[in-house]
A and B are shown apart, each in its own frame.
Chain A
């Protein structure tokens, strides 16, 4: 697959691809509500489901030796009814999902970015913005309030936008987040490099335990 970031698609092409008769195996953003398409991008709304992280007795989240029970204790799922609100406090992070379910064809990738009007009140939307060609599902948004005032969130709030770039790819494997319909906490335990990193960590710990003098007097 090659990416050509300069070839963003135009408003006209975007409209024509989104509103074509054939909705399947093409570019789909469901639903398209109100004036969702502007400036070559599609507005993304906050969906009703999100996951917040509770403070627990767990001392730290170690991505290479994940205690899934401890993680489950930390996560709290919520579902906002229509019109219900949630106050995102300064310093708080939640995982939310887009209301929109998207399906990208193999010739398009996408980027999720904050809408500037929300960024200006301290809301940071996504820290992993690239969406692969061929992806189908809702997008998980990492919402953080980096401002100093709580921000009130509602389901349906157009907090982000999705822009598209042309790519050349032949086939993709479905990602582990394929067909997601709500926010997903990452399955850290499935990371391919986890075992290697664990081995390096264990070796380091052994070396420090068995030969502290080798590190010199400053090590103590």
Chain B
């Protein structure tokens, strides 16, 4: 590959980026699109710099930049100017936004329900994409000094803090457990990428595997038993394979984190034994104490067993009576339920009390269709509770201010 060819390729990419910019400006309808325009400008800056320092150009950087621009064309724009065909679950957006902004203030959270045949596997929940600037920063450090790049991009990052796009299988868009999964490992991945990209210091030393495990422990501590239910549903503990020892380790750690907080053991003995056996195949097990230590340093509110006992039973009662578990009575005052409490009421209801709703709806007993219908109704009530809780808290905050 000659340098001349490379330069012509890069020039072509610059032209494409400019075209994209022009088309974006013509169709500019929202702040999010403006941001994409700004990211495209950033891409152009990088390309210009790369062109000037011709000695440092190589085929891989050209391929990377081309790939990033393709990403803008093919993935960001369709998500942000979303077609109506697949609508994201807006009830997931509030809790995810709150979770992401704890470590990445101002970042725009977008949801992308993707077509997936493997709704129960991790495949549908791909690592969240960060904005183009972050992706460029994390990959072009070979070409540029890190602190110089961060300095150059600082005003732009302040004006447009970025977009994080969460993927999940569209088939699970109405399932509250999908929210619990998104709040776990995907948010953890994002936290790791964000801290390693935006920090001027050395990159985050923690590996991707550790990032997943730390975020699992953290999610178990902040979401309670609902996270284990979600993970069991996603990973199918009785089908774990020695080829993927990470899955049993994730489940075992989450179980351990929950029992340490006083939540009752939720893994049946048979599953526990199965997982322990699969875990024994792990050639280099990570240091558990270190993982727990790192999880404890993350900012977040622990969902203790005492809180579970206080908040979840009244919400469960509401679900049994066909009402959204959004508010509960405590010391004669109505309180908005927290996201972990709603998710735990949902998980517990699906496991133990679905027949109550079937009874209210006068559905036939012992029918799989009836159970599925009752589950569908219960999930809808839980999503309504998330909507009401978010709206009610925002409304009351407005009252106070």
Q: Which residues of A contact B (CB under 8 A)?
A: 21, 23-25, 28, 30-31, 33-34, 47-48, 76-77, 79, 81-82, 99, 101, 103, 136, 138, 155-156, 173-174, 178-179, 181-182
Residue of A nearest to B324 (CB): A101
| Partner among B84, B318, B362, B396 whose Cβ is within 8 Å of the Cβ of A174 | B362
The answer to whether A156 touches B391 (Cβ under 8 A) is yes
Residue of A nearest to B394 (CB): A82
The answer to whether A24 touches B381 (Cβ under 8 A) is no
The answer to whether A136 touches B323 (Cβ under 8 A) is yes
The answer to whether A30 touches B322 (Cβ under 8 A) is no
The answer to whether B323 touches A82 (Cβ under 8 A) is no
Distance in Å: Cβ of A90 to nearest Cβ of chain B? 23
| Partner among A21, A28, A79, A82 whose Cβ is within 8 Å of the Cβ of B391 | A82
Which residues of A are found within 8 Å of B380, using beta-carbon distances?
179, 181-182
The answer to whether A23 touches B87 (Cβ under 8 A) is no
Bound-complex Cα distance A22 to B167 (A): 41
Mark each residue of chain B from 126 to 143: 1 if its CB lies under 8 Å from any CB of chain A, else 0: 000000000000000000
| Partner among B93, B317, B361 whose Cβ is within 8 Å of the Cβ of A179 | B361
Which residues of B are found within 8 Å of A99, using beta-carbon distances?
388, 391
Bound-complex Cα distance A82 to B389 (A): 12
Which residues of A are found within 8 Å of B381, using beta-carbon distances?
179, 181
Residue of A nearest to B382 (CB): A181
Bound-complex Cα distance A48 to B390 (A): 12
Mark each residue of chain B from 367 to 396: 1 if its CB lies under 8 Å from any CB of chain A, else 0: 000000000010011011001101110111
Q: How many residues of B contact A (CB 8 A)?
A: 32
Bound-complex Cα distance A25 to B320 (A): 11
Which residues of B are found within 8 Å of A155, using beta-carbon distances?
391
Bound-complex Cα distance A33 to B393 (A): 10
B326 interface hit (Cβ, 8 Å): yes
Bound-complex Cα distance A156 to B381 (A): 19
The answer to whether B84 touches A76 (Cβ under 8 A) is yes
B365 interface hit (Cβ, 8 Å): no
Residue of A nearest to B388 (CB): A31
Closest 9 CB pairs of A and B: A181-B384, A24-B321, A79-B90, A181-B380, A136-B322, A31-B392, A179-B377, A33-B395, A101-B324
Which residues of A are found within 8 Å of B360, using beta-carbon distances?
174
Bound-complex Cα distance A157 to B383 (A): 21
The verdict on A101 contacting B323 (CB below 8 Å), with A24-B317, A181-B383 known, is yes
Bound-complex Cα distance A33 to B399 (A): 10
The answer to whether B387 touches A156 (Cβ under 8 A) is no
The verdict on A33 contacting B323 (CB below 8 Å), with A179-B361, A181-B380 known, is no
Which residues of B are found within 8 Å of A48, using beta-carbon distances?
90, 387, 391
The answer to whether B323 touches A174 (Cβ under 8 A) is no
Residue of A nearest to B84 (CB): A76
The verdict on A82 contacting B324 (CB below 8 Å), with A21-B329, A24-B317, A179-B381 known, is no
